[in-house]
Amino acid sequence: RLQNGPSWHYLHSDQWRYEGDFKEYHKCPDNTFTQGHTADFNVQAVRCGWLPFYPQYTKSNLELCRDAERAGKKSPEEISAYVLEQLKGKKLRHAIEDIDHEASWPRVWYIWRGNAIMSSAKGHEYFLKHYLGTHTNTIAEEVAEGRVREVEWHKNAPLGKMDLIVDLNFRMDTSALYSDIVLPAASWYEKSDLNSTDMHSYIHPLNAAIPPVWESRSDWDIFKGIAKVTTELAKKHLPDPVKDIVTQPLSHDSPDELAQKEIKDWGKGECEPIPGKTMYKFAVVERDYTQIYQKFISLGPLVRAGLGAHGVKYAVEDLYEEVLKTHPTQAWGGKVYPSLERDVEAANLVLLFAPETNGELAYRAYQNIQERVGLKLTDLAEDSRDVRLEFSDLVAQPRRLLNSPIWSGLMDGGRAYSAYTYNVERKVPWRTLTGRLSYYLDHPAYIAFGENLPVYKPSPRPEAYGDLKKSLEQGKAKILNYLTPHGKWHIHSTYGDTLRMLTLSRGTEPFWIGEEDAKELGLEDNDYVEVHNDHGVVVTRANVSARIPKGVCIIYHSPERTYSVPRSPLREYKRAGGHNSLTRVRLKPNLMVGGYAQFTYHFNYWGPTGCNRDTYVMVRKLEDLVW
């Protein structure tokens, strides 16, 4: 189950409780569609199949299937119909409709390869308050009561929804600091792994120079261990196979793109709920939790049916059969599967079954898209058709990705990756309603929001955002527009907190301010400042710079709460926070609309971004430095 993160955190961390109608800061025409609260709009988006949301219902998915079976429903179609009837009769509610009900709370959080509680946590202080139930510096008032219509209002907001936070980490960052369990992960030179990005064209192998030190393990071995323990627990708690009902939003690169030519909400009685048409789809899956470990270390037989992404498909059945003869295998349940037990085995199968590293599969993928668009395309893979990379090939020498229709850049002949060269040079249609890039968006929601054509919208005033309703000026203070750009030393890199790097940056993550604003505040370079709003507070050194425009300030993304964080006099001398202590998630409703053309959902493709670039803060010189 994959979901867009901004919606998930906006609702589960209860940041929606701290804002009113979105029109208070989102300028758009007056009509029935552009009224209300962002959380209500997200409910409609889930109900209509525009976006996913998890958990799905205020009742366990497994228990829901058991109820259906007790009612005599056996087949997937019958179980799906049963759930639909429960929804129509309002006997079953979506979890998003009662997000603060205990049944809707997220309980266990695994954090992997990210700093989810600080660097990614827009609204960091709300994470601390509502996820962890711990100390927080937010003083914002809840204002959504009486404003929300679709979301159930609970007078007392939950504090500490998470029961367990487990962090896979090889350093003590802020997420590790707040986690219940930190699993010591192997570092870059202690494991075999793959790194890749569409920002450049090389595949990076991570090769173990030494085995993992002390108790650390590779990411693969850690998850394998979790799978093994889960399997053992399942033998006691879930010994028999169980049915699970999964909801799926209307999907990009599928017939779902023509599902909703007009916007009608079945939850409001505007149409009938029809899965795959006016609402999301159902799938019933049988799960055997006693086989989690065996499935984790085996490549399953469904691969034989073919692979693909972004509307492209390619056949791999013959390759699957070949791998059974040439590569390590796992035998269980009377069948044999390609092995994923070791990290190198998993990396090899990723490389073998990907068209970017297997030229024959790239050729087949181009054949697939060639037949659909009526253009000659297989020549893009002709010269590399015999290329087949495995992990040892990457270790021996740097290797580039091959041309693949999964991506829109062409990279043969040493060419740098550039998006959409495939579309421009080979005339392959874009995956849009018209097959072209469009300035005009022919969608009723975008017309209603007045954004069917590009439109300039000035930044709202600080009063509209309400970041400073309770943050009073004390002494000589000034309101500034607050930005959190990518840092020079700590984006796509690690160890910005080492002594050498800290020596280059004043021993902290400084607060950048323009010379004019600093002069008005009586600030000298390297003075300590207290930067605050209703969301939280930061205490750090000032970096006075001619490069920062008047009225703007910057804290680079992302400091850690593990060093150089003084206490805040404004918050009763509690420890101050980091860059995301001053932000809160705001979601743009028209980015939730779906069910039509390029507006249909795909993970990491469609959904509202957690925009926080128009945050405002109050800045003053710190008079009393306390550690």
Give me the half-sphere count of Cα atoms (radius 13 Å) on the Cβ side of residue 330: 20
User: CATH 2.40.40.20 region(s) of the chain?
Assistant: 463-621
How far apart CA 51 and CA 39 sit, in angstroms, is 13
Give me the pLDDT at residue 369, please: 96
Sign of CA dihedral 470, 474, 479, 481: negative
Q: Which of 606, 601, 605, 608 is nearest to 250 (CA)?
A: 601
- Residues of CATH 3.40.50.12770 domain(s) within the chain? 5-184+242-285
d(CA 496, CA 577): 17
**What is the topology classification, in CATH, of domain 463-621?**
Barwin-like endoglucanases (2.40.40)
Collapsed DSSP state (helix, strand, coil) of residue 397 = coil
Q: Tell me what pLDDT residue 558 has.
A: 85
Cis peptide before 55 (omega within 30 of 0): yes
* Residue 26 contacts residue 589 (beta carbons within 8 Å): yes
The stretches in the chain having pLDDT less than 70 are 198-199, 489-493
Q: Check: CATH 3.50.30.60 for 5-184+242-285?
A: no
Q: For residues 104-140, b (16+ Cβ closer than 10 Å) or e, as one string? A: bbbeebbbeeebbbbbbbbbbbbbbbbbbeeebbbbb
Give the pLDDT of residue 493. 64
The confidence score (pLDDT) of residue 113 equals 82
Q: Are strands 615-621 and 477-483 parallel, antiparallel or unpaired?
A: antiparallel
